Structure 1
Amino acid sequence: MAEHPDLGRVLRQEADRHVPDRDAILTRVARRRGEPSRSRWAFLTLRPVAAAASVVATLVVGFAGIKLVGDREPAQPPAATGTSAPVSPAPSPSPSASSTDPSPVDDPPVGTTTRPHQPQATTGTPPAPKWTPVAGYLSSAAEVDSHSNATWAQGNLVLTTTETVTALDVLVSVVRTDGVANAGQWSSIPAEMLTMTVSEEKDALLYRFTLHEGATLAPGAYTFAAQYLHATGERDQDADSYGAIATGGAGGKKVEISGAFTD
């Protein structure tokens, strides 16, 4: 899947201005509504944790995608909240294990409950995504969980970093097809290091995950899950999308990444 030609330019402009252009977003949404869903890239409007509660209300999502905006500088020196070292990836849990404070894993954990923040490991292994976007030290893979059913589903986004991350903002967009309603969200990053919110927009549910200022993530894979209800039957997830902005590595390099979900 080819990269959106305007992604780099838009991200750089928005990172400099720090102020989302709501009119421009609405214009882009109106212009792109007629395009096929598989040809769209997702863009996000992401801003720092300091104003997370008020910022989420300003995010606007349409079939055109979501802008990405990131302007937080890495904390110096980096230190995870409540600990003196970055959070490190841990081995995958055993098939019978269940945890409310999951650690990063190689494969996305599978949720079997609609209760928020309650992931549950299983023996199922979802099929590999059809493509994996990469941006610098950050790569991603997103798919609908294999344990989703006729009325409930979970989208699993796995971000893998080869550098220590000092700032991270993630947004998962679930398009509001028939019956779509929020059923929870969770991450393998400890809850005390992360702010998680859901914004119900006209066209989509926006699941946001923001790393607390001062927290750091060691190189490894981290899971972000969005759970939702939907009308009975098979749901088309082609327009569901995600985006993330991370800061990390030597010199605090900022990278952006976006993509779509596979079934």
Structure 2
Amino acid sequence: MTEDDLRQRLRSAADAHRPDRARMLARVERGMHERPASDEPGRRPAVGWVRIAGITAGVVGALAVGGFAVGSALRSDPAPRQQQVAVSPAPSSSLWADGSVDPGSNAYWAQSNVTFKTKSELTALTVELRVAQTGKVNSTGHWRSLPASDFTESVTERGGFLVYRWVLRAGRTVPVGEHVFAGQYNHAEGGRDASADRYAVSGRDGGGQRVSVGGDFA
């Protein structure tokens, strides 16, 4: 049975009930004039009054309960549903980068790679690789996957780091895609710890928006 069917049946039952007032009063009056059949006066009238009071209370109670049920059914409304609002994730950056030690490195020499991807053409770009001085670190060269003529390049020692720096020349652009910049160096014999090395890539896209990303080699 649906909720609408229940409401309709309760409303019909309430509308159909019409208490017979005259009949009820007649029963009350008849009870008041009844005489006890036994020698114990007053017992049967008392029973009659109890019976009448019980009937009256039952009728009133039934009407009250029925009215309450009908009212409740008619007034009950389903609780409003809460609507979930989806929150759109923040847009990802147009520039991604990663630093790694080249697998061709050995116990005396290493190459550190800065790989970055851009989703838009760049009109300005600076790439910096900082190799921590862990012992006998000195540059043996560097290269990049983009044309050498598009960049000015420098290698310096500063603050305990060997610093490789590439800067895009004015009027040149970096196309959409993946690009690599690498620094090569000797180091003290043995496995070199690159956890202190750092890299940074920054620039400006065609719309003039600045973009940047950086990290380590851990």
TM bucket (normalised to shorter chain) is 0.5 to 0.7
Aligned to 1:260: 216
Aligned to 2:106: 149
Higher helix share: 2
Q: Give the superposed CA RMSD.
A: 1.5
Aligned to 2:43: none
Structure 1: gaps (5+ residues):
1-133
Conserved? CA contact 1:156–1:223, under 8 Å:
yes
**Superposition TM-score, scaled by structure 2 size:** 0.57
Counting only pairs closer than 5 Å after superposition, residues 182-193 of structure 1 correspond to structure 2 as 182-193=139-150
Conserved? CA contact 1:135–1:257, under 8 Å:
no
Where in structure 1 do 4 or more consecutive aligned residues deviate above 3 Å?
none
Aligned length: 128
Indicate whether 1:236 and 2:193 are aligned.
yes
Deviation string 1:160-187 (CA, Å, 9 cap, x unpaired) is 0000000001110000011111111110
Structure 1 residue 135: deviation in Å?
6.9
Deviation string 1:204-254 (CA, Å, 9 cap, x unpaired) is 0100010111001110011000111100000000000011211014x2110
Higher strand share: 2
**What amino acid does structure 2 have at the position aligned with 1:163?**
S
Larger gyration radius, structure 1 or structure 2:
2
Aligned to 1:39: none
**What amino acid does structure 2 have at the position aligned with 1:172?**
L
> Following the alignment from structure 2 to structure 1, what is the Cα–Cα distance between the partners of residues 92 and 198?
16
Aligned to 1:110: none
- Name the SS of the counterpart of 1:218 in structure 2: coil
Change (3 A) 1:135 1:206: farther
Conserved? CA contact 2:97–2:201, under 8 Å:
no
Ranked by relative contact order (alpha carbons within 8 Å, sequence separation 6 or more), the top structure is 1
Kindly, what percent of the aligned residue pairs are identical? 40
Structure 2: gaps (5+ residues):
1-90
Aligned to 1:178: 135
